[in-house]
């Protein structure tokens, strides 16, 4: 039942203000590590999968600390490279009530940004792998990381590995002279499971449809490798109160999940990654419908945990899907 | 107006993760002390009662720190024993949103578990006492503590003291070869005020009725010492949001309290103990109806305070009963 | 677009229990600085105004730390005096749920209480100023500070400066032998913009009307200097959940703002000061209606920030007025 | 072997910067409670003595927290009064290396300063007492507390209790119009064991001798009640490194203790109080010589503990006197 | 150059008071994990060796957190078992100055104590291994763990692995009915490198010689498997100031290392384990003399790091041996 | 007596591990701000000088927080620019004992690195200024900042301002294609007071002399603008224990200061900057000899304070020079 999953993407040091302090007033930053793809990796490892994450860190004590964190979660870190360049950082200020959360990225010139994967033995990476996961953040960082993504995708194809891609379009990346439409389509042609909303599909796949079903149909027509397209549907009443559901297009119909009311959010960063992880786990282990419900429940639980990462067990997600132990005091 | 109240039960060191951190990720534990019966004791002391708590601690600096905590709250600790054995511990991870709270008990082989009370001068303990309180946790721990409970109850009877017992049935205790029905009925026959729900009554009193009124009537029939049976009624929408009310059977009718909406819970541990304390205080000082309302209001306030213990004043509870100063900023 | 604004009032050291700990249980106090008028000053400085705050501190390292704080926010502290007397303090325990927040003031005998402003060169203070702000707290502290307020108001008048006064009636001040009605009317006669509710108007202006419009009309009749009267309208469902709106009488009609639901309050202290600052900024820069909406939105955001002070930018308030970026994750 | 000891004196809230932070830069204060006489009381309670401390606190949650602290240490707090007035505070900045430690007192107008002890039933206080301890700080605070001290001393005399007084001359107290020589001699005439150096003897006993032996002889001649005079001898190489010894005049000769090198001081506040406590314990339980060595060893250990108070056991002091377990890792 | 090293022994949760707080006064415990043998394992992993640690944990979130810690350091945790029983704990209070450090063990009834290794595939464990390390703590815990040690040693012998044993005699273990001399000799007969002082040799090897050289000669005569015997030589001037050197008997002569003055100790726990790790590394990679110097330098550096474990790099130890970068500020 | 002093240089965010934690193990970073020249500026402002610091920050909340810090210290921040680029960071791990302290710089691509000062109105900056201070760090960062330094120096010359330069040669800067000898000589030709040791003089002034007096004479011969050359003399016995003195060449003789033993260092970062500040203050206000003693005493005190900056008063430095209040407890 344990699958082998490969993930690829930058891991940054996250420096968060404690409580709901603003950047202006804080005197301490809490250190964690996160990145969209590694967050997925950790979730999957917590659910008993065998996961290897590929990235690059500076060869410093800071880089060592980041590796130690990844290793602690049970991920295989043996393919991680040491590179010139700095540790990518991001500063996080947790919002509350009507006040938005803020992230200040400081990821330029990182070791990862200069990582093109030439020195990686991709065939060893994908030996025995069942799934590969990438996001649109990686090709958006630099020429090198766009090439890295393509290299990985080609190797995944050689090994017959199922591929998921979280499009994750971010406007303030893509600074190296290429536009998403220059780069993303080729990558998506190697991908079976896509996560993205209509904006992502428009920006990265040139699919301009307001209606999600129509957009999915068009996307599948243009990118025949695609089997599934999914997205969360988040309504932010405030930073402390969101309503979350998910939807999954499986080539035939658009499935909708239960909707969860979340009025006491602890930390919403990584909510999308938790959904992604849940979807991968679910599709590897069950029906489309159960995969979707699992993914949304996983995402909901993430909002209750400080940091980027969804430190929840398989049983905890399954319980929430079944509506068991919700808000209990388990002794 | 100050009554003399005796309580009996284990006090554990509580080690809580800060914020909503999970056990997996924490690096610090906050130290507090708590136990169902001592939590009741502290509440009553805060409301001006003269309270002595009986338990046993290891003869170590850790045991001394626990005594210091109890003493700080104003409890009479002069009957506390030093015993062989360890300090009982429990690790607490506060839930949030849909994610449940978790307690990992580490209480086996504690000094208290080996405490049979033979060396206690029970007549001195109960001299001038008005009330004695015990819970079903104590006889569930060990042969020794079952005997301890019975010894205390017999002495209480000799001194004509009113007795309350919170049945508090916990399946994962009762590991020493006896079942609740072997032990609890004799103890309950010495008790006037019972707190328990239908499950508790079934497991410890052999009263199997779904309807609470019927169950209370049957319980009173089987255990003629009983004058009152009470219970909280908690609906957990999530770890952060509960709805709480209480009910009290006084031999004639089932009284229902106001229902409180609690959408921003800080710490729900000890909520039942706060209710129990409120009920004891209320029955000692007023009508059944006012006792019930006082007990529920006390329990509500507990949910706003970190730790096991309800550090609230008499006035604060009374204000909530009257709906005064709710959510105000008092200068 | 940057106006010159002068504020006057005591700045105290605020010692807050962490989390929702009660005074009884805390072992650490977080240090901040605050005061009704200085809170207004900081808000205005954050919105790009040139603000000088007038107060007095003891000539000690504690006083220096308070000045350093004020200076860090961008306020002009060059008029602050060093005086005999202690630093005014207040201890703050944050409420939660139904449990009220508590402030214990320890401000008697402070350096500010002995500050009559005789040594201040008021003409230099008000040179080029557009606005002066005072509150009813200052004249309530001592004979000296009542005189201080009057001296400042007379100088403001000489310089043709618009004046706002937040009546802020506090019963447990006014201990020096004068009643509000002995002192406040003369001060209000120098004031154009008043913030106060019907109770404030009754106690400090001898205007006894239940209906706010009638009260405003009467107040304007008695105090012809007044052009605007405003107030927040706060409904406290609990310490964690308030509903907030504002109203502004502009001599012709009573304007009402949008009403904001605030179910996850972080810290409500300074909410009124944030409204006051918003009103000053708004009246200096726009219509009565937009001023009121700006003031309420500013106040709402304050409730999401730990401490007395509303560390929010102009854009953040404007966004909330427009309903933009509410509860988003801004990257 | 347990003696009954009465102590009298103000207990202040101590607000300390963490680590070696300066007042200017701190953002948190750690809360403890301390006072010269109560520090003595806690030491003695830790060594198994029955100790009651007399003081007054404001009737507030802050006062309650202070009482809780005292109670936690095992002291009898039943004679403590609630009074009008504030909680005395002191701010503490721990020095390091050549940089001095700093205390900013904020004790004026405290509840204790207005406490004259008229309402205390002194005969009940001293019933069964063996020892009474006071310091020169109390009569230096106010007319009321000077009277309080005298009242206590007279009652102690009535009950035949041995009295110790730590002169503890502080120039910046004595602000209420009396000089030490107006007040202290009468108090010292009721005292048997005096702690003070030549400066203290000069300022409070009018004994002006440079040589300690000569000063002690003169003091005993002028104050025939005195049986012992003692003092620590501290050489401060730096805030982190002191050298400490003690001396004790017993009417016949000046005994000198071992000298301790202390190059890694954690917190030197309360070092003198620890000596005082050790001296009382030692004189009650042994020879002059062993009392002196016990007192100095107790004081040395205090320097290793954060806060005012010497939380060390009898065995730990005795071990240091014997040179056992010094710097060991005890498992 | 990377060797494969197997270590065996219990890993406990360490709960340390912050700063130099005493158990009595602390409100927080810092969580780390440690154990004599795992501390050795982590050091070796930090120096680039391939290390697998064998132990057992309870199957709980607490057990998972302990594994996560071990994994983070780079150790192979794949042989770790999940067992019934609790997590072994120890409470740590860091001494300072003359005050001793204190450890309160709470390790009875742990998962490890019930671990006899029957379910371990020892041949797989020792496949390709170069070294095995055990200590006298393991056989001292229980009948099961004595058997575990013997099982491991026999398997190590089958695979021709070099074995080191740190005798580490602890009087307050050995509670299960056997004496050290019943158990240890057989284990030592399978061991080549012994760490122990004369007391250890007397208690566990029945070698009663005051002189270390004579003791080593006698030990080697009685236990022909032994090739090396080593020990640290620690002089504790105080908890903050130790003087440390080491000695190594290599069958021919007793080598002595440099002596290090350590006047500002941060945390001395694990100092012996750091020496042991250094000795293993040194003997695997160099001469007896260089091994000893490396071991002592490693131990010195440990004293500067909070926690049980010596998080220092190979280069840092080598630099200290060479006297380079000592106390520098490396940019 | 208050002089106007201008300083120029990058201010970085310093992220320090708490206590003596290593980068590998920390979970929190404490935030401070520092930079060689700004550290000088703050010292001078603390001693009553009027100081303006020139630098550039990113236009973000992080940049605003840095400005707020500088402003809090009393520095004039009105010339600070907002620039493209990131905030320069450095990570700090405090050493202890023999273990070195470590700094990991992450300052590349900062807003300051791209700051050439073209947009600064230098004539307004230097209007009324008495002194200008720069260091060799600034021209070592980038082409732009080398130009910035020269621009500032030329303007300083136009205004007849005395100039000090701390050569501060750092090998791992100077990455932009120029060597120190390409850039530094021109800058030093505009400078009167130089701080540097023989290595600095060799690398930046092409003065290759082992003997400091000879080197100073040669330097003065080659750079006729120079009037004084100074240096600290630090002997690092360990990270916790340094011995510090200073020397000053005044064109005629080499003055030597007292030597200070510093066996309990809290934080040595900024020790050189504190010396530099002391020298500037001293030369502006007294003799060469008193300037040197003041500078060394200031530096010594810095080592007792957490962070980069020497938060000490004029009186504290003067007291240390006189040997007063050393290691006292000032009440």
Render pLDDT for F130-177 as a digit per residue (tens, 0 to 9): 999 999 999 999 999 999 999 999 999 999 999 999 999 998 999 999
Q: Which residue of F has its CA nearest to D264?
A: F264
Give pLDDT, residue D114: 96
Are E184 and E154 spatial neighbours (Cβ–Cβ below 8 Å)?
Answer: no
Selected residue of A22, A32, A62 to mutate for chain F interface (largest F Cβ count, 10 A): A62
Give pLDDT, residue C90: 97
Please write the tens of the pLDDT for every residue from C292-330: 999 999 999 999 999 999 999 999 999 999 999 999 999
Q: Mind telling me how many Å the CA of A159 is from chain C's nearest CA?
A: 36
Please write the tens of the pLDDT for every residue from B7-63: 999 999 999 999 999 999 999 999 999 999 999 999 999 999 999 999 999 999 999
Mean of the pLDDT values across residues A288-314? 97
Q: Which residue of D has its CA nearest to C68?
A: D24
Is B1's pLDDT higher than 90? no
Mean of the pLDDT values across residues A165-174? 94
Please write the tens of the pLDDT for every residue from A56-112: 999 999 999 999 999 999 999 999 999 999 999 999 999 999 999 999 999 999 999
Taking residue C125's Cβ as centre, other Cβ atoms within 10 Å add up to: 23
Are the Cβ atoms of F71 and C71 closer than 8 angstroms? yes
- Which of C152, D198, E329 shows the shortest CA–CA distance to F105? E329
Is C107's pLDDT higher than 70? yes
Give pLDDT, residue C1: 61
Are the Cβ atoms of D28 and C28 closer than 8 angstroms? yes
Judged by CB atoms within 8 Å, which residues 97-126 of C form the interface with D? 102, 104, 106, 108-109
- Dihedral sign for Cα atoms in the order F170, F173, F179, F180: negative
Q: How far is CA A150 from CA A146, A207, B23, B70, F3, in A?
A: 6, 21, 39, 64, 62
Is A1's pLDDT higher than 90? no
DSSP character string of C209-256: -SSHHHHHHHHHHH-TT--EEEEEEEEEEETTEEEEEEEEE-SS-EEE
Taking residue F286's Cβ as centre, other Cβ atoms within 10 Å add up to: 13
Q: Which residue of B has its CA nearest to E64?
A: B24
- How far is residue C30's CA from residue D219's CA, in Å, rounded to a whole number? 48
Q: Exposed e or buried b for every residue in D11-49, given b needs 16+ CB within 10 A?
A: bbbbbbbbbbbbbbbbbbbbbbbbbbbbbbbbbbbbbeb
Mean pLDDT of chain A: 97
Please write the tens of the pLDDT for every residue from B185-244: 999 999 999 999 999 999 999 999 999 999 999 999 999 999 999 999 999 999 999 999
Mean of the pLDDT values across residues C238-260? 98
**Is residue E187 within a helix (H) or strand (E), and if so which, with residue range?**
helix E180-188
Give domain limits for chain B.
Answer: 4-322
Q: Which residue of C has its CA nearest to F69?
A: C72
CATH topology of domain A9-313: 3.40.1190
Mean of the pLDDT values across residues A212-219? 98
Mean pLDDT of chain D: 97
Out of B27, B31, B109, whose CB is closest to E27? B31
- How far is residue D331's CA from residue C112's CA, in Å, rounded to a whole number? 55
Longest dimension (CA), chain F: 56
Taking residue D257's Cβ as centre, other Cβ atoms within 10 Å add up to: 24
Q: Is F105 helix (H, G, I), strand (E, B) or coil?
A: strand
Are the Cβ atoms of D72 and B68 closer than 8 angstroms? yes
pLDDT band per the 50, 70, 90 thresholds, residue F1: low
Q: How far is CA F51 from CA F3, F38, F127, F128, F191, in A?
A: 8, 10, 12, 11, 19
* F255 strand-pairing partners: F248
Q: Which residue of E has its CA nearest to F270?
A: E329
Mean pLDDT of chain B: 97
Size of interface B-D (CB pairs under 8 A): 14
Number of helices and strands (H, E) in chain A? 11, 16
Chain C residues within 8 A of D89 when measuring between CB atoms: 89, 106
**Is residue B262 within a helix (H) or strand (E), and if so which, with residue range?**
strand B260-262
Q: What's the token pair of residue F174?
A: 């100077």
CATH homologous superfamily of D4-322 equals Ribokinase (3.40.1190.20)
- How far is residue C268's CA from residue C243's CA, in Å, rounded to a whole number? 12
* Interface ipTM: 0.94
Judged by CB atoms within 8 Å, which residues 249-278 of D form the interface with E? 260, 262-266
Please write the tens of the pLDDT for every residue from D66-114: 999 999 999 999 999 999 999 999 999 999 999 999 999 999 999 999 9
- Which of A319, A307, A315, A253 shows the shortest CA–CA distance to A72? A307
Residue with tokens 């004679």: D79
Selected residue of D14, D18, D28 to mutate for chain C interface (largest C Cβ count, 10 A): D28
The CATH code that applies to domain E4-321 is 3.40.1190.20
Q: Which residue of C has its CA nearest to B310?
A: C22
Chain A residues within 8 A of F86 when measuring between CB atoms: 106, 108
- Whole-model pTM? 0.96
Are the Cβ atoms of B329 and C97 closer than 8 angstroms? no
Please write the tens of the pLDDT for every residue from A232-244: 999 999 999 999 9
Size of interface B-E (CB pairs under 8 A): 65
Neighbours of chain E (3+ CB pairs under 8 A): A, B, D, F
């Amino acid at each position: 039942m344990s699958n082998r999953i490969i993930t690829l993407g930058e891991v940054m040091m996250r420096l968060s203000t404690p409580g709901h302090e603003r950047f202006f007033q804080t005197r301490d930053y809490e250190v964690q590590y996160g990145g969209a793809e590694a967050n997925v990796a950790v979730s999957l490892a917590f659910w008993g999968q065998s996961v290897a994450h590929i990235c690059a860190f500076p060869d410093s004590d800071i880089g060592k600390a980041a590796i130690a964190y990844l290793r602690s979660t049970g991920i295989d870190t043996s393919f991680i490279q040491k590179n010139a360049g700095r540790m990518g950082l991001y500063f996080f200020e947790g919002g509350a009530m009507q006040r938005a959360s803020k992230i200040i990225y400081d990821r330029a010139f990182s070791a990862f940004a200069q990582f093109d994967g030439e020195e990686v033995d991709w065939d060893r990476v994908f030996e025995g792998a069942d799934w590969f996961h990438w996001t649109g953040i990686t090709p958006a960082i630099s020429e090198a990381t766009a090439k890295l993504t393509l290299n990985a995708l080609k190797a995944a194809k050689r090994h017959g590995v199922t591929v998921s891609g979280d499009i994750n379009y971010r406007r303030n990346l893509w600074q190296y002279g290429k536009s998403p439409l220059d780069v993303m389509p080729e990558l998506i042609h190697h991908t079976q499971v896509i996560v993205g909303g209509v904006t992502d599909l428009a920006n990265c796949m040139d699919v301009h449809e307001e209606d999600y079903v129509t957009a999915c149909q068009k996307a599948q027509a243009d990118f025949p490798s695609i089997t599934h397209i999914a997205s969360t549907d988040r309504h932010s009443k405030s930073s402390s109160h969101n309503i979350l559901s998910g939807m999954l297009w499986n080539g035939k119909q658009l499935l909708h999940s239960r909707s969860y009311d979340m009025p006491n959010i602890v930390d919403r960063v990584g909510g999308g990654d938790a959904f992604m992880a849940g979807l991968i786990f679910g599709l590897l282990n069950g029906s489309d419908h159960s995969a979707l419900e699992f993914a949304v429940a996983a995402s909901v639980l993430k909002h209750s945990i400080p940091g980027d990462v969804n430190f929840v067990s398989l049983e905890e997600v399954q319980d929430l899907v079944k509506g068991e132990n919700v808000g209990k005091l388990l002794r």
